[in-house]
Structure 1
Amino acid sequence: MFMKMRSAPDLLSQLPRLMHRLPHLEAVRDDHYKIRAGFGGEERVDEILLRSRLDGPRAYIGDLQLAERFCQIDTIIVTDHFVLILEVKNFSGTLSFNEDSYHLEQTTREGNKYGYNSPVTQVWNAREELLAILSRAGLSCPVYGAIVLPYPTTLVDRMPSEFPVVYGYSLNRFISTLPRTGRISSPERTAQLLLDQHQPFPKMDFQEAYSYDPRQLKKGVVCGKCGGVCQKMSERLLLCRSCKQPVEDGYRRALDDWFDFVAPEITNAQCREFLGLKDKYAANYLLKKMDFLSQGASHQTIYRKREAVR
Structure 2
Amino acid sequence: MIAKNRSIPKEIRIYEAIVRRLPVNHPRKTEFENKLSRKRAGYKGEKELDYHVSQIDHSKFTILHDIRIPYNETHFQIDTLFISNSFIIPIDSKYYAGTLEFYPEFNQMIQYLNGNEKVYPDPILQTKIQGRQLKAFLTSHQFSPPPFEPLVAITNSQALIKNPTKNKEVSQRVFKSPGIFYKINPFLEKYHKEIITNQDIKKMVKLLLRKHTPYLPELKELPFSDFQKGVECPACHTIGMERFHGLWGCKKCGHTSKDAHVAALKDFFLINGPSISNAQFSDFLNISSIHQSKRLLSALDLESTGSTKGRIYTPDKNFRLWE
Structure 1 residues 189 and 125: CA distance shift in structure 2, 3 A: farther
| 2-structure distance, mates of 1:95, 1:83 | 26
Q: Which residue among 175, 181, 189 is the counterpart of 2:184?
A: 175
- What's the secondary structure of 1:84's corresponding residue? strand
Matched, 1:43 2:55: no
Matched, 1:59 2:62: yes
- What's the secondary structure of 1:273's corresponding residue? helix
| 2-structure distance, mates of 1:141, 1:90 | 29
- What's the secondary structure of 1:221's corresponding residue? coil
Structure 1 residues 27 and 256: CA distance shift in structure 2, 3 A: same
Deviation at 1:103, TM superposition (A): 4.8
Matched, 1:16 2:16: yes
Residue identity opposite 2:70 in structure 1 = A
- What's the secondary structure of 1:13's corresponding residue? helix
Residue identity opposite 2:180 in structure 1 = L
Count of residues paired in the alignment: 303
| 2-structure distance, mates of 1:247, 1:182 | 60
Deviation at 1:279, TM superposition (A): 3.0
Q: Which moved more, 1:57-66 or 1:97-106?
A: 97-106
Residue identity opposite 1:38 in structure 2 = G
Deviation at 1:161, TM superposition (A): 7.0
Residue identity opposite 2:20 in structure 1 = H
| 1-structure distance, mates of 2:214, 2:60 | 34
Aligned pairs for 1:103-252 within 5 A: 103-108=108-113, 110-112=114-116, 116=120, 118-135=122-139, 136-157=141-162, 164-178=173-187, 180-181=190-191, 183-184=193-194, 188-195=198-205, 196-198=207-209, 199-201=211-213, 204-208=216-220, 211-224=221-234, 226-232=236-242, 234=244, 237-252=247-262
Match for residue 296 of structure 2?
A: 286
Residue identity opposite 1:257 in structure 2 = D
**Aligned partners of 2:18 and 2:32 also within 8 Å:** yes
Match for residue 83 of structure 1?
A: 88
| 2-structure distance, mates of 1:18, 1:244 | 25
Residue identity opposite 1:37 in structure 2 = A
Query: Which sections of structure 2, spanning at least 5 residues, go unmatched?
Result: 318-323
| 1-structure distance, mates of 2:281, 2:57 | 56
| 2-structure distance, mates of 1:240, 1:19 | 20
Deviation at 1:63, TM superposition (A): 1.6
- What's the secondary structure of 2:231's corresponding residue? coil
Deviation at 1:27, TM superposition (A): 2.1
Residue identity opposite 2:44 in structure 1 = G
Q: Which moved more, 1:191-200 or 1:18-27?
A: 191-200
- What's the secondary structure of 2:150's corresponding residue? strand
Structure 1 residues 181 and 273: CA distance shift in structure 2, 3 A: closer
- What's the secondary structure of 1:30's corresponding residue? helix
Deviation at 1:304, TM superposition (A): 2.4
Please, what TM-score do these two structures have when normalized by structure 2?
A: 0.78
- What's the secondary structure of 1:70's corresponding residue? strand
Deviation at 1:242, TM superposition (A): 4.3
**Aligned partners of 1:149 and 1:165 also within 8 Å:** yes
| 1-structure distance, mates of 2:227, 2:61 | 48
Structure 1 residues 61 and 264: CA distance shift in structure 2, 3 A: closer
Structure 1 residues 273 and 9: CA distance shift in structure 2, 3 A: same
Deviation at 1:297, TM superposition (A): 4.6
Residue identity opposite 2:4 in structure 1 = K
Match for residue 320 of structure 2?
A: none
| 1-structure distance, mates of 2:64, 2:43 | 15
Q: Which moved more, 1:57-66 or 1:99-108?
A: 99-108
| 2-structure distance, mates of 1:193, 1:96 | 40
